[in-house]
Structure 1
Amino acid sequence: MVPTNAPSGRPVALVAGASRGLGLLVATELGRRGHDLAICSRDEQSLERAAAQLTAQVPGVTVLTQVCDVANQAQVATFVERTEAQLGSVEVAIHVAGIIQVGPWQATRHEHFEQAIDVMLWGPINLSLAVIPRMTQRGHGRFGVVTSIGGKISPPRLLPYSVAKYGAVGLTEGLSAELAGTGVTATTIVPGLMRTGSHTQASFFGDARRQYAWFAPAASLPLLSMDATRAASRMVDAVLAGKPIALISPLSQMASRVHGLAPEVTLRAMGLAGRFLPRGDSPEVVPGEQARSRLGSRVVNTLTTLGDRAGRRTNEHP
């Protein structure tokens, strides 16, 4: 979608990975706070659906979309250049794009790490290199990266994910220090599990059915996961305020603090939890929807009801 009324005089926010899920909610929140939007993802159809949803929910907003792989530095640079040419200077840039791979160490392969690092570490690096120099030249800007509690504590069955998120935490915290006094801020956003419907978009390996059976309910049940709309609002609050770090959920706050105070105890607890989770050595990667179909469990489907509802609202289940 090419904007027809830009520049509008409204501040411009760029959200990488905003075609569905949490990214779409973050973009919606920024639009409601008066920003025009530039959003990207790798899938053109999901971008078109997201743009239609944004314009319907946020009257008067201008939405620019572009197919862009955040792992590709040239594509990210082109996206930023096009945004500033058509909408105006980017005041806010938030990297949300991510992938979830769930499986045991025995089935983990090099490509799992490569895929995770490409999206969730090179993605923020590429966006920071494209947008922050423009912000510092103007003397103002807000940059944020959605990391994860998995970037503070490495839980079992999510090793490639955590490796990438640990890197993203280091990048954003380091940028916060580097940018002090420039008028540009960098916010490390640390959520826990959120109900976005992402369990159907995640990938599972090493007995995919059993991995899905524990992860999908954990990402859907209220005591374990947070309402994603509320999480998105807190994220935008933190980035616009220029906070260096935002621990979004009570679970992320507690886990981060416990790990800081007692790291050995935390690691032993993670090891104990890993003993109870399913194993398997098959490297076959199974998409969440297919894993759910293979599992065929009414109990698990019932436990993921809230997550499925969230997914329908956030373009995860178009």
Structure 2
Amino acid sequence: MLINYATLFGLIAVAIVLFPGFLVVDRWWRERIYELSGKVILITGGSRGLGLVMARQLAETGARVAICARDEAELERARTELEQRGGDIFALTCDVTEQTQVEQLVQQTRDHFGAIDILINNAGTDIVGPLENLTMQDYDDLMKLHFWAPLYTTYAVLPEMQARKAGRIVNISSVGGKMASPHMVGYCASKFALVGLSEGMRTELAKDGIAVTTVCPGLIHTGVVDHAIMKGQNRKEYAWFSIGDSLPFLSASAEKVSRATIAGLRRGAAEVIVPFPTWLSVKFYGLFPELSTNLFGLFNQLLPKPGGMGEKRAFGKDSHSALAPSWLTYLSDRAAERNNERPVTEPKGTTDVKQVGAVEENLTQRSASKKPEKQLEADRVQGLEPAIVEDEQSAFPFINVSQAPPEVQTCLSDIQDTLGIPWKPANWRAYAMYPTVMQLFWQRLKPATQAESFLEDAIAITEQVYRDTYDWYQPGYQIDVDEAQRRHIQRELGAFSFGNPQLLIQQIALSKVLAGEIVGQDGKTEIRRGPHAYRHPEIQFIGEQSAQEVSTELQRVYQDLKQTLGVPFVNSDYQALAHWSDFFIAAWEDIKRWRDRPEFELLKQAIIQRAEEAASRLRPAVVIGEQEVRDLLENPEDFEQIQQKVQLFNDVLPELIIQNALFHQGLTVDQSALSEPS
């Protein structure tokens, strides 16, 4: 048989030349024939960062998008933004590491939108630190979030997808799932597990018409670094991690990674690795694993040594230093503002799956229904109904003091008189939703708060804050208040500066005893002497409903306060200052800019540390058993809600203590030295 080798070689050469073109055309075609409009897409971890960016881009295609996260306030901000952009959004609180909640999440999404067409497993976190400082709990937490959570969600959506012979699943892993990096061993181990799960599922589910895509992005400046967990020398760990996340050319924006992910989803790609330097690194690692790991070993010599905090955890936001944040982290810092990464709050496990933004039943009825039947009957006999006030948008309940039962009013007045403060504190009004629990808390804390040492510790915190803020805060606004108004504002600020450190020490003590600790030391107690420094007639407040009547600008600032501080209510401090709205609004806008300063975060941590030390010295010791509290509650879930309320005020009080000092400084600064506000 005569073979024309010249012709054969020519055909082979033409095929080689045309093959890349065929690949490009095939890729282009597959991305366009898969229509996203009308598809139901579930994104875990969709409230911020990459998940939020993907939700934005998918909503723009006409897809119906369900997002979930643990933090309800964060989720609500994301939902509001996405709906304002015209998206069809369904937002649910869910802890994806809990299989029961995942099944509820999928069922509620299905009930709302219909069958789920696309699942994107995006929820994740980082734990950064040397091997010696990692614990078994760290590994377990990462495996639950990066391996078990995607497994739960996948198994929850699979039956319907298999029945329809159609579906797409996208697993957001990481370059850390392809090549192991030092000081991220637990993270990499869990992401390697996800890659194996994802690739294995692709091979088995292809027969059912289900395409599984594994996404392994490299460094992304999403702004997530403040949410990452640091261990060991946390400030140094945060510095290299956050700077690496912001490196131009080597890192990519969340928008770029999202576009690449969605393109891979549409064509049913097996794998997406972005940006190009990351793709190149992964291929090099695959070809030369020994050389690559040896190079990583050299890099490890440059990283912080074990020590510092040891096995304790700190958020990135609590690990700032002179190096980071700085101009070196500009890309990440800018992305944090854009992608709902701030404020950073302590993540809490949600106890149920519920829609965010839905119109709920009347709160008074819900609260009343939790009371024991005997108590409800007694209330009806006495003509008492639950006296509750709330912000309609946040549904955060407080007792209305003027309409509260006599025993609640007596307890709140005793707290006010003992602490020497001219207002009923918001935290205690929140605990008053459970009157017997509030009375137990106060009964145990009161002897400690009457001690002279308690007052001394609180004053020491105040002095430290005032001293330190004067070192770095420079007000950038002008005010126009007369001398009488200035004195009045200063007096009210003084009351809050006097009271908030006392409340913080109480809060920390409560959080510790609810966790099973015995706080303080038994011994002699020196009772406070002398008059209370700031005892004067009740401070007048402008509540959230009243703010709507005052002005739309004040209402906007109230909403901004809640969003910025990450709390579902406006605290008494701000409701008092709102009487001088021109000063209050200008000062708040200025202070908000300064909250991102490293000095602010460092001072906040110093306050917490000092308050924790004060709580450990309380005399007499404070003991409250968990079972003791649970026995007072009709609904067992209320214990977790009380814990969350305690932690919420733990988080916000240090902010208020600093900001009261900054407001005070704005009043005392030489206004003539300021330029006109821009």
Q: Is TM (by shorter chain) over 0.5?
A: yes
SS in structure 1 at match of 2:208: coil
Counterpart residue identity of residue 219, structure 1: D
Q: Secondary structure at the match of 1:181?
A: helix
User: Does 1:157 pair with 2:183?
Assistant: yes
Corresponding position: 1:37 with 2:65:
yes
Distance 2:182 2:269 in 1: 30
Bigger radius of gyration = 2
Q: Which residue number in structure 1 is paired with residue 443 of structure 2? A: none
Matched AA of 2:318: Q
Given the alignment of the two structures, is residue 285 of structure 1 paired with residue 310 of structure 2, yes or no?
Answer: no
| Paired AA for residue 340 in structure 2 | N
Q: What is the match of residue 236 of structure 2?
A: 210
Give 1:157's aligned amino acid: H
1:131-162 per-residue CA deviation (whole Å, 9 max, x = no partner) reads 12211111111100100000000100001100
* 2:41 pairs with 1:13: yes
Residues 1-318 of structure 1: pairs in structure 2 closer than 5 A? 10-57=38-85, 59=86, 61-281=87-307, 282-292=310-320, 295=321, 297=322, 300-318=325-343
Q: TM-score of the superposition, structure 2-length normalised? A: 0.44
C-alpha distance 167-118 of structure 1, shift in aligned 2 (>3 A): same
Residues 103, 279 of structure 1: 8 Å contact kept: no
Contact 1:149 1:256 in 2 (8 A): yes
- The code of the aligned residue for 2:326 comes to N
Determine which structure has the larger strand proportion and give its number: 1
Query: What is the distance in 2 between the residues matched to 1:219 and 1:134?
Result: 39
Judged with a 3 Å threshold, the aligned counterparts in structure 2 of structure 1 residues 298 and 110 are, in CA distance, closer, same or farther, namely: closer
How far does residue 90 in structure 1 lie from its aligned partner after superposition? 0.8
Give the letter aligned to residue 121 of structure 2.
H
Q: Distance in 2 between matches of 1:168 and 1:260?
A: 18
**Corresponding residue for 1:4?**
none
Identity %: 34
Shift of 1:221: 2.0
**Range with bigger deviation, 216-225 or 111-120:** 216-225
Report if the CA contact (8 A) 2:177-2:195 is conserved: yes
SS at match of 2:118: strand
Q: CA deviation at 1:32?
A: 1.1
Compute the displacement of 1:305 (Å).
1.3
Q: Which moved more, 1:214-223 or 1:165-174?
A: 214-223
Q: Is the 8 A contact 1:93 1:144 kept in 2?
A: yes
- Once residues 184 and 89 of structure 2 are traced to their aligned partners in structure 1, the CA distance between those partners, rounded to angstroms, is 34
Distance 1:16 1:137 in 2: 23
Measured after TM superposition, the shift of residue 300 of structure 1 is 4.6
d(CA) in 1 for partners of 2:303, 2:283: 24
Q: Cα distance 1:123–1:299, how it changes in 2: closer, same or farther (>3 A)?
A: closer
Residue aligned with 2:109, SS: helix
Tell me how far 1:298 sits from its aligned partner.
5.3
Q: Residue 248 of structure 1 aligns to which amino acid in structure 2? A: V
- TM-score, normalised by the number of residues in structure 1: 0.93
Q: 1:19 to 1:256 in 2, by over 3 A?
A: same
Q: What secondary structure, in the 3-state scheme, does the structure 2 residue paired with 1:115 have?
A: helix
Provide Cα deviations, 1:70-123, integer angstroms capped at 9, x if missing partner: 111111111111111110111111011001011001111111101111111111
**C-alpha distance in 2, partners of 1:213/1:226?**
18
Query: Distance between the aligned counterparts of 1:187 and 1:150, measured in 2?
Result: 16
Q: Is the 8 Å Cα contact of residues 79 and 89 (structure 2) preserved in structure 1? A: yes
Greater relative contact order (CA < 8 Å, ≥ 6 in sequence):
1
Q: Is the 8 A contact 2:250 2:275 kept in 1?
A: no
Structure 1 alignment gaps of length 5 or more: 1-8
SS in 2 for 1:14: strand
Distance 2:249 2:131 in 1: 27
Aligned Cα RMSD in Å? Answer: 1.2
Q: Is the 8 A contact 1:221 1:307 kept in 2?
A: no
Supply the AA of the counterpart residue of 1:76.
V
Aligned residues: 305
Q: Distance in 1 between matches of 2:200 and 2:265?
A: 16
Q: How far 1:299 moved relative to its partner?
A: 6.3
> In the alignment, residue 235 of structure 1 is paired with which amino acid?
T
Distance in structure 2 (CA, Å) of the matches to 1:304 and 1:119: 27
User: Which structure carries more helix by proportion?
Assistant: 2
> Does the Cα contact within 8 Å between 2:202 and 2:212 map onto a contact in 1?
yes
Q: How many angstroms apart in 2 are the aligned matches of 1:299 and 1:208?
A: 12
Contact 2:325-2:333 at 8 Å conserved across structures: no
* Matching residue of 1:6: none
Structure 2 gap ranges (5+): 1-36, 344-678
Distance 1:114 1:198, change over 3 A: same
Structure 1 runs, 4 residues or longer, greater than 3 Å off: none
**Using a 3 Å threshold, how does the CA distance of structure 1 residues 115 and 244 change in structure 2: closer, same or farther?**
same
Shift of residue 196 of structure 1?
A: 0.4
Q: 1:186 & 1:133 partners in 2: Cα distance?
A: 15
Distance across 1 between alignment mates of 2:244 and 2:323:
16
Residues 151 and 162 in structure 1, CA contact (< 8 A), matched pair in contact too:
yes
Between the aligned partners of 1:179 and 1:53, the Cα distance in structure 2 is 35
Q: Check conservation: 1:43, 1:67, Cα contact below 8 A.
A: yes
